[in-house]
Amino acid sequence: MIPIRDINPTRTVPFVTYGLIVANILVFFWQLSAPAEIYDRLVFAFGLVPARVVDSPVDEAFTVVSSMFMHGGWAHLGGNMMFLYVFGDNVEDVLGHRRYLGFYLVAGLCAAIAQVMVNTSSVIPMVGASGAIAGVIGAYLLLYPMAPIQVLNPIFLLWFFLGPLLTLPAWMVAGWFFVANLVSGVAMVASASAGQGGGTAFFAHLGGFVAGLWLIRPVLAEAKRRPRQQWDSWRTGPQPARRRALSAQHRRNSPVGRRPDPWL
């Protein structure tokens, strides 16, 4: 289930979200620019290796951050940045730029801790922003559970009946993300080769997601109250004229200076 966009406008420009996307892309191009014989060294040097973190947590602390900006391929990078683009702007809008950046980094730290705890002896480097982004998804779930999210219809035959895009509530998209990672993570642990095998760091995703759920309320910033777009249809289509008019009216008349109620 690939999210394309959410129907949940923001009041502010998400500078931090855009900056994180640009930073991840630039680091990935830096990875690609390295000669083949150096590429693997870069991944091992700046990726998070659980066994190294357990042996020398102080010396390896920097890899918690550096690994969050490295990726293993175009699909890995593209998928992560799409999720960050869809969910990050609204969380940043509520928290404010500085708190959002801190929230993002702490969620990434919690994701790294979760993965290290599950597999302390692994010498496989972990790279990717997935854990931190999972924290953003968890926060979005708590803040906007009924926000409409447009996703790519995963069943091609249904394109002829429902179209290539479906509109789902945020709780369903975020819930699918959590359940899919939980099932895959349990399956990996149950596998005989899970101890040293590579692949997706599912428990980093789970750790980041849970961290996002727990952290969002304590760091919730003061912000302006505004009306929330609510999911009301499975189908994707043009916004009705009446809804467009109401949305414009709400934006004009939205009160200023009151504490938000993001759980509406």
What is the full DSSP assignment across 133-163? HHHHHHHHHHH-TT-EEEEE-S-GGGHHHH-
Tokens of 184: 């895959």
pLDDT value for 157: 76
C-alpha–C-alpha distance, residues 92 and 112, integer Å? 22
pLDDT value for 263: 39
**Each residue's pLDDT tens digit, 212-235:** 999 998 888 554 444 556 656 655
Residue 159 CA to chain centroid, in angstroms? 27
pLDDT value for 62: 93
pTM of structure: 0.79
Tokens of 11: 């009041």
pLDDT value for 36: 82
What single-letter amino acid sits at 68? M
Element (H, E) at 166: strand 165-169
pLDDT value for 118: 86
pLDDT value for 232: 60
Average pLDDT per consecutive 10 residues, the chain (264 residues; last block may be shorter):
88 95 96 87 91 91 94 92 95 93 95 89 89 96 93 76 84 92 80 55 90 88 51 55 45 40 39
Enumerate domains of the chain plus CATH numbers: 2-253 (1.20.1540.10)
SS3 3: strand
C-alpha–C-alpha distance, residues 78 and 71, integer Å? 10
Largest CA distance in the chain: 61
Q: What phi-psi label fits residue 10: left (phi over 0), alpha (psi between -120 and 50 degrees) or beta?
A: beta
pLDDT value for 130: 93
pLDDT value for 258: 39
